[in-house]
Structure 1
Amino acid sequence: MTLRQILRLTPWSVRRWVFEAVERRVLPRVAPERRLRIARTLMPLAPVRIRGRTGDATLRVRTADGLVTARVQAATGPVEVRRHNLDRVAQAFDLARIDWFRVPVRNPVRTAVAVPEADRSRVVRLLQELTARDHGLLRPVRPAGRKPQREPGVLAVYWPVTDPGGSMLLGREYACEVEFWQESDGRLRAPRRNPVADSIPAGEPEVVAPEPVFGPFSCPDDVTGYRTRRVFTAMDPDRIEFPIDVVYTWVDGDDPAWQRRKARALAENSWVDEINAQAANDSRYASRDELRYSLRALHSFAPWVRRVFLVTDDQVPAWLDLDHPRLTVVSHQEIFGDTGKLPTFNSQAIESRLHRIPGLAEHFLYLNDDVILGRPVTPDLFFTPGGLTRFFPSGARVDAAPRGPADRPADSAAKNNRRLIEETFGRVLTRKMMHTPHPSRRSVLTEIEKRFAEHVAATAGHQFRHPDDISLLSSLQQYYAYLTGRAAPGRIRYLYTDLAQPNTPLRLAGLLRSRNVDAFCLNDVDVHSAAVADQEALLAEFLPAYLPFSSPFELRRARPETTAATRTLTAPRQPFSTSDVALPPVA
């Protein structure tokens, strides 16, 4: 048995102690390009697989409460498992002719149905029989801060599901919770509070409502209906009802056709090597399949997204299903119109054009493909019900010195943003933004383009990152919207890690164990070529373990290689006008 296999079997506390000791005493003596390889060896990420009695049909998965037998599925997710638990309980009640109605719950990833307290014995007996099949579980829900009840007011019903590797368990957090409601004095009273009403008239009319009525963790076009009482169909003022899209930018730096385009552009832009090595370094264009896993996370953890737009230089990942109804691939040609210069290899130039995507919702999230959701999230993490965007300031500061020739491209852009904000509002921005999804509004971005037309056009015209660029999506829009009353600071739990750092395997192992962040960023800075393979191996182990379930955006059988987009523009690039955009007064 190898050291790696032995460490995989040891308790987490021991593994962490060993790693921290090696990090302190050994790694400083090792060449930098070899540190990640040693660290990766000491911190295996793939879980130990324990087969169930029925072979691959089930697996025994370790949890905080002990071993759990889970059904194995390769293509599913929280929404599907949540729906399965709810429908199985509801159908059983229908067959047994037990009266029930659905109620909203405070935890948006769970579901709940109400049944009469008078039917408790029948309900409990039915649920015991139901969960005895297919490895289901029936557990009491303990009220917060209270002692366990002899007859619990709420029971959790669920059938655990895991992936073929046993690395992710979809269990109790997606349970259907059965509430026993008492009837007295002409009213029905709940055993716990819910977001709408925990006491209703016994004669409250029964209606059928679609899935999105019961909470934000649902697909916006889901029309599946459930029995409920009319009072529960009222929309809470805190609910977000406007559509939200997601925009990704993606490039395959290994595509030979793309490499030829880049080489020609570099020959025409001799200034690139003279300014900064990071203006066009290869690591900026590396694709390690992060987009596949970011889309898996989006499907699993944000089902409320309306559409996904993938902006590329006429490239398509080999595994991507172009026929998915919620996916649109957008060419750079479509959004640059009469502005800028193509082909472009400048992420800041591309970001300055994203608000031009045809059909894009007013409210959208912008994600780099190395930004991945880490757990179920709801729209109010990113927007307010009134439509304001939230932004997430980092603890990192923008360098206070004036822009200089030694600045990295990202720092130059931040300082350019700072100058525009100071000239316009008399305020000095000091904090960078976290590497998270960026909530955005088309109207705000269009307004920025009109107010700072010269700077936006210059950024769009640079084929590689240039010292004069601004960073429109990842910094400027946040402060501009904030100072014009259309954004507010938010809070998000996230993890940022540099793949080149030797402590990254430990941090990813901890994340895989806890799954306690809303989003994480796997950033790859310019590194020694010898460490590239170790970074790729690290991601190849971590990402399938963290997000093992394939998404509907993936083909069952991938195309041979990255291909050109199947649709091409036959019409000329169209101009984009901001003449009808009114600029708000600046104090």
Structure 2
Amino acid sequence: MIAEHVGTDFREQLKSGIAAAAEMRNQVKRVRVVRRNRELLARHDRQVVTVDGAPRIAHVVPDATPLQARRANRDEVVAALRAAGIDYFCVRSSSETSAAIAVREEDREQVLTALRQACRIRPGYVVPIRKGQPHEESALPGYGPGPWKRVAHSDVFRCTWYLTDQTGRLILGLRYGCDVEFWRRDGDNLVSPRRNVVAESVPVAEPSVEADDSLFTDLAPLSGERDAEPVPVRTRPAFAAVAVGRRTFPIDVVYTWVDGSDPEWLRQRADFSDTPYHDEAANAARYLSRDELRYSLRSLHLYAPWVRNIYLVTADQTPPWLNTDHPQIKVVSHKDVFRDPASLPTFNSHAIESQLHHIDGLSEHFLYFNDDVMLGQEVLPQQFFLPNGLGKFYLSPALVPFGASSPEDPPVAAAGKNNRRLIAERFGDNIFQKMKHVPHALHRSVLDEIEREFPEEHRRTEASRFRSTGDISVASSLHHYYAFHTQRSFPGEGLVYRYCDVGKPGVERVLGRLLAARGAHVFCLNDTTSTEAELSRQQALMARFLDEYFPFPSPYERGADN
């Protein structure tokens, strides 16, 4: 009994000693990592950022975007391979945000050595890829020897150089890395280690060619658009061929905007104003500018770099911060789009939206944004338009009340009822659902057709200076239902969307979750209920949230480094 008791105590002491020794080794290892990180940071403009609870060395790039991060990671890998004299070619992977480069299996040791050296010179991270996308917590520092043993036999691994802005609030990490694929030789062909959407093998002796980056990710603008310089990449002929299902048409963006604090605009509104028919139509919060447009444009620059031109439709107003010299920005006066000058000035968004297809130079396919709509992460053209031109609309669970419009209806409900009557008379069925507050995918030709098909209702809406019970909502609802019935649009799915009424209680918690997760493709910050007394507090709250989410200026702002 005594011997057994002593043995048990000894085993427990031995376990404790082993655990203490392991903890000591871990502490030494952590000290070494911290010291190594400090040495690396001291030599360059870098920051330590936290991603999913783990520290990462990030390189400070003041105006980095997801597309730029994708290209930068690819270029780092390419530079390392070229310096080592290793042959490679770019492939079209299943990811839009990460690049992929193919190398020969027989060059494995040279590839590993070249990339290990690249990650030592400019600290980067590496992670093996087995199935699907890697997770942030699996990224290992490539400037140490250990991680390379983890990928020494991987068919595919990812190299990533984390980027951040000066504040460390925007972090572009593993999602934008560059995959390295080892293609094995099989006779006269090189065979891919994983499936892609173009070619699973290429001839060994086939010469490389150059192709534009837009063939490898739908995030990139089409070649030749916006007078941008082409971005050539080295590839094989199969990956340089234009595939069926690739978008070939331009997509523009249209904003409508008003500065509700402008004295001249307020004077005009007072000159024409009677008591609006509904309290919501009269709410000052609807006209208040919280600089949402500035941040919506920042979101567009970050997350939709494939957009061609941006049209801002205004009542001869221009935000003082807007860089009107930027080649993408086009400021359009109401006078240039309203066919009947007697309809101006107007204070009715339904009226303004009914005239958007009159914008000179506007593309057939375009997105209509309200300035309170933001992109929360990368969006792709096919989330709004199929490559064959069909548009997508996103139905809301909110319903249009049944029955005829009446003075008691809020403006949105009244317009929805009027839309329903037109669709029922023309096509024989009824509208019941509203649309989500997302960018509306519109066809210029459909809007023109609606003006011809429903001339009386269209003219009545155009002539209504304030929202009225006779309005139709052309751009945000009627277009989608009309295009659906004429086989030009259909209901879309998969766009993650959040709606936030900033005048409602608990908005701070909603915005905090939105900022922490950054999981929405689109979010809308609307306000239809705030009183004059609440506007100042809402202004401060919105400013803090938007500045955290979009911390640095876009090229569309004066004084930004373009």
TM-score relative to the length of structure 2: 0.86
Q: Does 1:130 align with 2:121?
A: no
Determine which of 96, 100, 108 is the counterpart of 2:96: 108
Measured after TM superposition, the shift of residue 53 of structure 1 is 5.0
Map of 1:511 onto structure 2: 514
Map of 2:54 onto structure 1: 66
Measured after TM superposition, the shift of residue 120 of structure 1 is 1.0
Determine which of 307, 317, 320 is the counterpart of 2:319: 317
Equivalent-residue separation in structure 2 for 1:55 and 1:420 (angstroms): 67
For 1:496, what is the secondary structure of its paired residue? strand
For 1:443, what is the secondary structure of its paired residue? helix
Map of 1:244 onto structure 2: 251
Worse overlay, 424-433 or 237-246? 237-246
Determine which of 154, 157, 162 is the counterpart of 2:156: 154
Equivalent-residue separation in structure 1 for 2:53 and 2:235 (angstroms): 33
- CA distance change for structure 1 residues 557 and 139 in 2, over 3 Å: closer, same or farther? closer
For 2:462, what is the secondary structure of its paired residue? helix
Map of 2:78 onto structure 1: 90
Deviations 1:110-145 (A, max 9, x none): 111111111111111111111123332222223239
Determine which of 516, 528, 532 is the counterpart of 1:529: 532
Equivalent-residue separation in structure 1 for 2:298 and 2:497 (angstroms): 18
For 2:206, what is the secondary structure of its paired residue? coil
- Amino acid corresponding to residue 231 of structure 2 in structure 1: T
Map of 1:142 onto structure 2: 130
Superposition pairs of residues 213-232 of structure 1, within 5 angstroms? 213-220=215-222, 221=224, 222-232=229-239
Q: Does 1:549 align with 2:558?
A: no
Map of 1:583 onto structure 2: none
For 2:337, what is the secondary structure of its paired residue? helix
- Amino acid corresponding to residue 391 of structure 1 in structure 2: F
Deviations 1:146-199 (A, max 9, x none): 998761112212221112222221011111111111112111111211121122
- CA distance change for structure 1 residues 477 and 366 in 2, over 3 Å: closer, same or farther? same
Q: Does 1:79 align with 2:81?
A: no
Measured after TM superposition, the shift of residue 403 of structure 1 is 1.5
CA contact (8 A) 1:116 1:182 kept: yes
| Count of residue pairs the alignment pairs up | 504
Equivalent-residue separation in structure 2 for 1:442 and 1:399 (angstroms): 29
Equivalent-residue separation in structure 1 for 2:515 and 2:79 (angstroms): 35
Q: Does 1:233 align with 2:221?
A: no
CA contact (8 A) 1:500 1:535 kept: yes
CA contact (8 A) 1:76 1:549 kept: no
- Amino acid corresponding to residue 126 of structure 2 in structure 1: L
Superposition pairs of residues 157-236 of structure 1, within 5 angstroms? 157-220=159-222, 221=224, 222-236=229-243
- CA distance change for structure 1 residues 359 and 228 in 2, over 3 Å: closer, same or farther? same
CA contact (8 A) 1:340 1:462 kept: no
Equivalent-residue separation in structure 2 for 1:149 and 1:168 (angstroms): 28
Equivalent-residue separation in structure 1 for 2:441 and 2:182 (angstroms): 40
For 2:130, what is the secondary structure of its paired residue? coil
CA contact (8 A) 1:340 1:458 kept: no
Determine which of 367, 386, 389 is the counterpart of 1:387: 389
Equivalent-residue separation in structure 2 for 1:460 and 1:97 (angstroms): 65
Q: Does 1:260 align with 2:263?
A: no
Measured after TM superposition, the shift of residue 337 of structure 1 is 2.8
CA contact (8 A) 2:335 2:341 kept: no
Determine which of 45, 49, 52 is the counterpart of 1:57: 45
For 2:437, what is the secondary structure of its paired residue? coil
Structure with higher Rg: it is: 2
CA contact (8 A) 1:158 1:171 kept: yes
Superposition pairs of residues 129-528 of structure 1, within 5 angstroms? 129-144=117-132, 151-220=153-222, 221=224, 222-266=229-273, 270=274, 272-273=275-276, 275-338=277-340, 341-491=343-493, 492-528=495-531
Worse overlay, 336-345 or 280-289? 336-345
- Amino acid corresponding to residue 72 of structure 1 in structure 2: V
- CA distance change for structure 1 residues 460 and 123 in 2, over 3 Å: closer, same or farther? same
- Amino acid corresponding to residue 492 of structure 2 in structure 1: G
For 2:194, what is the secondary structure of its paired residue? coil
CA contact (8 A) 1:399 1:411 kept: yes
Structure 2 portions without partners, runs of 5+: 1-36, 139-149
For 1:61, what is the secondary structure of its paired residue? strand
Deviations 1:265-306 (A, max 9, x none): 21xxx2x43x11222321111111111111111111111111
Equivalent-residue separation in structure 1 for 2:209 and 2:489 (angstroms): 38
Map of 1:27 onto structure 2: none
- CA distance change for structure 1 residues 150 and 131 in 2, over 3 Å: closer, same or farther? closer
Equivalent-residue separation in structure 1 for 2:502 and 2:44 (angstroms): 34
Equivalent-residue separation in structure 2 for 1:422 and 1:328 (angstroms): 37
For 1:406, what is the secondary structure of its paired residue? coil
Determine which of 114, 119, 139 is the counterpart of 2:107: 119
Equivalent-residue separation in structure 2 for 1:78 and 1:289 (angstroms): 23
Measured after TM superposition, the shift of residue 65 of structure 1 is 5.7
For 1:194, what is the secondary structure of its paired residue? coil
CA contact (8 A) 2:314 2:334 kept: yes
Map of 2:143 onto structure 1: none
CA contact (8 A) 1:500 1:527 kept: yes
Worse overlay, 226-235 or 334-343? 334-343
- Amino acid corresponding to residue 133 of structure 1 in structure 2: I
TM-score relative to the length of structure 1: 0.82
- CA distance change for structure 1 residues 55 and 341 in 2, over 3 Å: closer, same or farther? farther
- Amino acid corresponding to residue 358 of structure 2 in structure 1: R
Deviations 1:444-494 (A, max 9, x none): 000000000111111111111111110000000110110111111101210
For 2:343, what is the secondary structure of its paired residue? coil
Equivalent-residue separation in structure 1 for 2:560 and 2:159 (angstroms): 35
CA contact (8 A) 1:128 1:138 kept: no
Please tell me the root mean square deviation across aligned C-alpha atoms, in Å. 2.2
Structure 1 portions without partners, runs of 5+: 1-49, 559-587
Equivalent-residue separation in structure 1 for 2:42 and 2:502 (angstroms): 39
For 2:313, what is the secondary structure of its paired residue? strand
Superposition pairs of residues 563-574 of structure 1, within 5 angstroms? none
